[in-house]
Amino acid sequence: MAKSEQHGTQGSMWLKHFWEETSSGHVETYDDLRLESSKDGENVILVKECGEKQFVKTASSDFKVEKYSISATELARLIVQYGHKV
């Protein structure tokens, strides 16, 4: 008899990655969305990063990171409730 168990979340997954540079090369725009495990392995964290970098004269950037957390159990329940069975 064999048995294997894995408890908790681990790893990460990219949901969306968008990067664009203007033809002049002066402005970069990006918009990323990914899932990550929490350090304790109990939650899944949705990470949203977006921003714009300008390389002319000021080298200014507008960068924003938002994070949302949900338990792995609650995420699984929501997928079953709202997802499509495949």
Least confident of 29-38, 39-48, 55-64: 55-64
Quote the tokens at residue 37: 């495990």
Q: What is the pTM of this model?
A: 0.75
In sequence order, which residues have a C-beta less than 8 Å from that of residue 71 and are 6 or more positions away?
Answer: 42, 43, 44
Q: Are 66 and 59 in contact (CB under 8 A)?
A: no
- Residue 30 within a domain: yes
Q: How far apart are CA 3 and CA 59, in angstroms?
A: 56
Report pLDDT digits (tens) over 37-57. Answer: 999 999 999 999 998 887 766
Number of domains the chain contains = 1
Confidence of residue 80 (pLDDT cuts 50, 70, 90): very high
- Residue 73 within a domain: yes
Q: What is the mean pLDDT of residues 6-26?
A: 85
Domain that holds residue 49: 12-82
- Residue 71 within a domain: yes
- Residue 66 within a domain: yes
- Residue 69 within a domain: yes
In sequence order, which residues have a C-beta less than 8 Å from that of residue 8 and are 6 or more positions away?
Answer: 37, 40, 41, 42, 72
- Residue 7 within a domain: no
